[in-house]
Amino acid sequence: MTQMEEARKGNITPEMEEVARKENLDIQMLIRGIANGRIVIPSNINRESSPCGIGENLSTKINANIGSSSKMEDIELEVDKALAAVEYGADAVMDLSTGPMLRDVRTAVLEAVDVPVGTVPIYEAGVEAFMSDGAVVDMDEDDMFRAIENQARDGVDFMTVHSGITLQTVERAQRSGRIMGIVSRGGAFLAAWIMQNQEENPLYSNYEYLLEVAYEYDVTLSLGDGLRPGCLADASDIPQISELLTLAELVERARDADVQCMVEGPGHMPLDQIAANMKIQKEVCDGAPFYVLGPIVTDMAPGYDHISAAIGGAVAAMNGADFLCYVTPAEHLAIPGVQDVIEGVIASRIAAQAADAARKLPGAWESELEMADARRSFDWDKQFKLAFDSKKPYEYRMQCPIEDSEMCSMCGEYCALRILREDR
């Protein structure tokens, strides 16, 4: 049985108990959230990992993407990136590999980390079609579902499936006058297949079979936003909203089949549109957990997109997003390295913490008070321990070491806290 089916029967699973403990949440409230589809616990029956709850009334979670490409394939490096992501606070990892050894990368990552692992199975189907026949569009329906079944059997906990890309939405995208067109790689694979074959997307037309596979292994479906905007000018357009309405229908069908699912969202988006987009998604998808990439709030910062995404992520999470997909400084430019992964995770953690503190979630607010007390007391070791990155602040402090522990090189003897304390 899936976590959702167990919850609907009133059964408490070990995964539910662990999530309730981590979140300091009443377990009956958690069960209700899982039963109605507003909370998911991605946990494949073929794999053991530290359970993670995503959704309503829970802390904002972070996903880190890793993965090889045909231009750069190093299994050890991908494992190192996954481990670094988890070390610095990622709640989940997605393997987006598209290199020839993508199966080996996936196996290594699944074995290396103790968090939920996600994938995009259409990549495997498309890559194998390209390697054998010379074109992504040469994959067939069997290839698509074979990849999904193989990855489910391997233990993948959640999968992005672009079931909302349909003949109708592709036509709307073609007529829309978008600047960037379709920027989702999985969305592009399926849109190209639809245009080449003039047939409906098999992940939509045979969605019932997809649900059967997901149910068998309790794979959480992450309903991909293949028509997410790729620049600010394309945000909130007809293709994006049209796909969202299709995803809302698919959420309902997944819940009817006792399959856990979440919905993916934008993308690139102006700051003033984020709150409305979050509320629209929550309304039309009946509170399904919302998984967003960024959103990136300006297209003017290549090399610094992790900062742009953290700004958008904070606003998104404060207004209903549950799961933030990190963005690294290498976004749109290159495969990220280990340090890029670390910076991306920390940027997303800042966004999540900012939102959770604004929502007054107990854990987030308590940590803010604890840090404030450490700063007031000049307790440097505690500050470093509490910080998302304990190494960097320590290194800054040691750049100009001062014997007096109650000052730093910024203010020295003119520290505001010291002056007022001495005056008292």
Query: According to the 3-state scheme, what is the secondary structure of the chain?
Result: CCHHHHHHCCCCCHHHHHHHHHHCCCHHHHHHHHHCCCEECCCCCCCCCCCCCEECCCCCEEEEEECCECCECCHHHHHHHHHHHHHCCCCEEEECCCCCCHHHHHHHHHHHCCCCEEECHHHHHHHHHHHHHCCHHHCCHHHHHHHHHHHHHHCCCEEEECCCCCHHHHHHHHHCCCCCCCCCHHHHHHHHHHHHHCCCCHHHHCHHHHHHHHHHHCCEEEECCCCCCCCHHHCCCHHHHHHHHHHHHHHHHHHHCCCCEEEEECCECCHHHHHHHHHHHHHHCCCCCEEEECCECCCCCCCCHHHHHHHHHHHHHHCCCCEEECCCCCCCCCCCCHHHHHHHHHHHHHHHHHHHHHCCCHHHHHHHHHHHHHHHCCCHHHHHHHCCCCHHHHHHHHHCCCCCCCCCCCCHHHCHHHHHHHHC
Place of tokens 């069960």: 31
**Quick one: pLDDT at residue 413?**
79
The 10 Å Cβ neighbour count of residue 21 is 11
Nearest in space to 346 (alpha carbons), one of 316, 381, 370, 310: 310
Q: What is the pLDDT of residues 8-61, one digit of tens each?
A: 999 999 999 999 999 999 999 999 999 999 999 999 999 999 999 999 999 999
User: How many whole angstroms separate alpha carbon 10 and alpha carbon 4?
Assistant: 10
Q: What is the pLDDT of residues 249-270, one digit of tens each?
A: 999 999 999 999 999 999 999 9
Q: What is the largest CA-CA distance in the chain?
A: 79
Nearest in space to 380 (alpha carbons), one of 357, 404, 363, 364: 404
The answer to whether residues 247 and 285 touch, using CB atoms and an 8 Å cutoff, is yes
Residue 176: exposed, middle, or buried by beta-carbon count in 10 A (0-12, 13-18, 19+)? middle
The answer to whether residues 99 and 69 touch, using CB atoms and an 8 Å cutoff, is yes
What value does the mean pLDDT take over residues 307-311? 98
Q: How far apart are the first and last CA of the chain?
A: 64
**Quick one: pLDDT at residue 169?**
92
pTM of the model: 0.95
281 contact partners, CB below 8 Å, separation of at least 6 = 244, 263, 265, 288, 290, 320
Place of tokens 């700051």: 271
Judge whether residue 400 has pLDDT over 90: no
Higher pLDDT, 407 or 221: 221
Overall residue count recorded for the chain in this entry: 424
User: How many whole angstroms separate alpha carbon 110 and alpha carbon 104?
Assistant: 10
Judge whether residue 100 has pLDDT over 70: yes
**Quick one: pLDDT at residue 390?**
92
**Quick one: pLDDT at residue 242?**
95
User: How many whole angstroms separate alpha carbon 144 and alpha carbon 256?
Assistant: 23
The answer to whether residues 262 and 292 touch, using CB atoms and an 8 Å cutoff, is no
Judge whether residue 317 has pLDDT over 90: yes
The answer to whether residues 117 and 110 touch, using CB atoms and an 8 Å cutoff, is yes
Per-residue burial over 412-423, b if 16 or more Cβ lie within 10 Å, else e, is eeebeebeeeee
Q: Judging by DSSP bridges, how do beta strands 54-55 and 39-40 pair with one another?
A: antiparallel
Please give the angle made by the CA atoms of 112, 113 and 116, to the nearest 5 degrees.
135
Judge whether residue 401 has pLDDT over 80: no
410: confidence class by pLDDT, cuts 50, 70, 90: confident
Residue 53: exposed, middle, or buried by beta-carbon count in 10 A (0-12, 13-18, 19+)? buried
> What domains lie within the chain, and their CATH numbers?
58-358 (3.20.20.540), 363-423 (no CATH)
Judge whether residue 134 has pLDDT over 90: no
